């Protein structure tokens, strides 16, 4: 599964993307797995209310299932326009 990071999430984690083999069933489980890896992940994911997530390029929430997920992206609230 490809994991993508944007804006300050990318900066905090220190990379724009990575590929991960995971058994996580939901986004929340994936977040827990990432947080347990290193401090910089724990810091980036410390406040989920400040984050948004997309699975396969569709906005979703942290309870979402990862069944069929090829790409998961984490980022702050969007500031377009």
Q: Which residues bind other proteins (CB under 8 A)?
A: 4, 6-8, 54, 57-59, 73, 75-81
CB of 8 to other proteins, least distance (A): 5
CA R_g for the chain: 12
* Contact between 53 and 72 (Cβ < 8 Å): yes
* Comparison of 31 and 73: residue with beta carbon closer to other proteins: 73
d(CA 50, CA 9): 10
CB of 77 to other proteins, least distance (A): 3
CB of 35 to other proteins, least distance (A): 21
Bridge partner list, 26: 65
């Amino acid at each position: 599964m490809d994991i993508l990071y944007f804006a300050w999430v990318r900066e905090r984690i220190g990379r724009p993307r990575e590929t991960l083999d995971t058994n996580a069933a939901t986004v929340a489980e994936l977040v827990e797995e990432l947080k347990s890896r290193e401090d910089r992940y724990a810091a980036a994911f410390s406040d989920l209310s400040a984050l948004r997530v997309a699975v396969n390029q569709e906005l979703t929430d942290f309870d979402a299932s990862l069944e069929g997920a090829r790409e998961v992206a984490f980022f702050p609230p969007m500031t377009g326009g």
